[in-house]
Amino acid sequence: MARKARNARRVLVVDDEVDLAELLELTLIKMGLDVETAYCVADAKALLGRTRYDLVLTDMRMPDGEGLELVEFVQAQRLDIPVAVITAYGSMQNAVNALKAGAFDYLAKPVSLEQLRTLVKSALNLEESTSGAVEALSGEDRPLLGNSPAIRQVLELVEKLARSQAPVYVSGESGSGKERAARLIHLSGTRADKPFVAVNCGAIPENLMESEFFGYRKGAFTGAEQDRDGFFQAATGGTLFLDEVADLPLAMQVKLLRVIQERKVRKVGSTVEEPVDVRLICATHQNLAKCVDAGRFRQDLYYRLNVIELKMPPLREMGDDIVLIARHVLARLATQNGQEAPSFADDALTALRRYAFPGNVRELENMLERALALSDGSQITGDDLQLSPHGFDEEATGGADCPLQDYLDRVERGAIQDALEKTGGNRTQAAKLLGVTFRSLRYRMDRLGLAGKDRDD
């Protein structure tokens, strides 16, 4: 076909407004791309069924339906083509809906040709940069360790998120790997070779916030001796990670909302706005929806930032990953100290599995650093871990955050893991040890997310 001969990438433009369709076509052709145009949803679907495209660019409102239908069609048919939608000015609702449905990105009317070119380049870059990227970042290099169903689910969503430009809200307890997840989305996507800028919103004094975020012009205030870029400029082309976003003061929330809507920032002391091309990922260990209810976080901003939520599981729900991560961290710490990694004594492994880890992986890391210092160098014992009794008792049994079922699950999980450890992973023998039938053990393992450990039964 013509596309193969010329080796050009092929874009499908879907728009019933002939003038806009032409403008898009011309811009794309100038970029060296092959372009086909459909003027309604039905024609677009027919073309998608016949030809392989590298990108679909669709208007939202068409005579016979919505551009959103095409986003859904491409998803349902698993066509694996990025779809970008063009929304009416001020219609953020449509943009958010499209992103939630799996659109790659959106452009607001009037379409800025500069933004169009950035979007197209980024979408066409997608194939090379993301296929299997999360898997490729394996072993030591993968920022999120673990094989449990909980972490597998996270990795699957990360892979999907890496293929879109949608804002992501990463939720989860303190120390559960929210920043690591944000980095992984960045590293697996089209922006990987551009900066990842992480900002702790709670650590910036309120009076400096605007200039830190947006930069300033020389003379904007006393001490502003030269122009300076802010976080948004520093993250150009890349990702801006706003950690502890719930700590942003309300006045700053309004400014951030404007930047998201307009995709432009203005430096303090400047009269001109500059376009920004930054993907936003934010996180907080607080419950952001509750902050909205309490009037501390603007609902409209929450809605823009929380287009897609990635929930990080607490370590206590990651089953055998606790031991896997512990071994990995211990090996790293030992290498840093220039020593051989000690092993874990049985009582240490049992304790690690039963502990609730309110501080998640960060707590595990701190605990192991201390244990390494206390240990005899060859083995880490349960005593070396110095686990707080609160991690087993009060937190495990009491309080609305940890209901009885969680506690019972943890005890059950610990007992099963111990039995499997003792029997070298043999489920038939482990069931005998536990005094339950094989079927009952299998059911319990499935329920607790411990499946996939069968070795020899």
Ligand X SMILES: Nc1ncnc2c1ncn2[C@@H]1O[C@H](COP(=O)(O)OP(=O)(O)OP(=O)(O)O)[C@@H](O)[C@H]1O
- Binding residues (CB under 6 A) for ligand X: these are 144-146, 172, 174-180, 243, 285, 325, 361-362, 365
Taking the complex as a whole, how short is the minimal distance between the CB of residue 17 and ligand X, in angstroms? 44
Taking the complex as a whole, how short is the minimal distance between the CB of residue 291 and ligand X, in angstroms? 15
Residue 279, Ramachandran bin (φ over 0: left; ψ between -120 and 50: alpha; else beta): beta
Residue number with CB closer to ligand X (243 or 277):
243
Residue number with CB closer to ligand X (67 or 189):
189
Rounded Cα–Cα distance for residues 106 and 96 (Å): 9
Residue that is written with structure tokens 């239908």 in the block: 69
Taking the complex as a whole, how short is the minimal distance between the CB of residue 361 and ligand X, in angstroms? 3
Residue number with CB closer to ligand X (48 or 242):
242
Taking the complex as a whole, how short is the minimal distance between the CB of residue 54 and ligand X, in angstroms? 34
User: Residue 341: which of 382, 385, 374, 379 has the closest Cα?
Assistant: 379
Taking the complex as a whole, how short is the minimal distance between the CB of residue 429 and ligand X, in angstroms? 31
User: Residue 99: which of 64, 65, 68, 61 has the closest Cα?
Assistant: 68
C-alpha 422: how far from chain center? 37
Beta bridge mates, 83: 56
Residue number with CB closer to ligand X (68 or 151):
151
The helix (H) or strand (E) run that includes residue 84 is strand 83-87
Taking the complex as a whole, how short is the minimal distance between the CB of residue 328 and ligand X, in angstroms? 7
How many residues comprise the chain? 457
User: Residue 32: which of 121, 161, 108, 133 has the closest Cα?
Assistant: 121
Taking the complex as a whole, how short is the minimal distance between the CB of residue 192 and ligand X, in angstroms? 18
Taking the complex as a whole, how short is the minimal distance between the CB of residue 434 and ligand X, in angstroms? 29
Residue number with CB closer to ligand X (105 or 243):
243
User: Residue 87: which of 110, 63, 105, 108 has the closest Cα?
Assistant: 108
Rounded Cα–Cα distance for residues 105 and 117 (Å): 13
Residue that is written with structure tokens 């992973």 in the block: 425
Beta bridge mates, 200: 243
Q: By Cβ distance, which residue is nearest to ligand X?
A: 177
Taking the complex as a whole, how short is the minimal distance between the CB of residue 336 and ligand X, in angstroms? 13
Say if CB 367 and CB 315 are below 8 A apart: no
Strand segments, DSSP code E, in 244-368 are 264-265, 274-275, 279-284, 308-311, 343-344
Taking the complex as a whole, how short is the minimal distance between the CB of residue 179 and ligand X, in angstroms? 4
Coil/strand/helix, residue 284: strand
Rounded Cα–Cα distance for residues 13 and 22 (Å): 9
Nearest-5° angle of CA 60, CA 62, CA 67? 35
Rounded Cα–Cα distance for residues 15 and 24 (Å): 10
User: Residue 333: which of 318, 138, 325 has the closest Cα?
Assistant: 325
Residue number with CB closer to ligand X (140 or 229):
140
In order, the DSSP letters of 193-257 are TS-EEEEEGGGS-GGGHHHHHH-B-TTSSTT--S-B--HHHHTTTSEEEEETGGGS-HHHHHHHH
Taking the complex as a whole, how short is the minimal distance between the CB of residue 457 and ligand X, in angstroms? 29
Coil/strand/helix, residue 249: coil
Residue number with CB closer to ligand X (67 or 391):
391
Residue number with CB closer to ligand X (140 or 193):
140
Residue number with CB closer to ligand X (82 or 167):
167
Residue number with CB closer to ligand X (160 or 328):
328
Residue number with CB closer to ligand X (175 or 358):
175
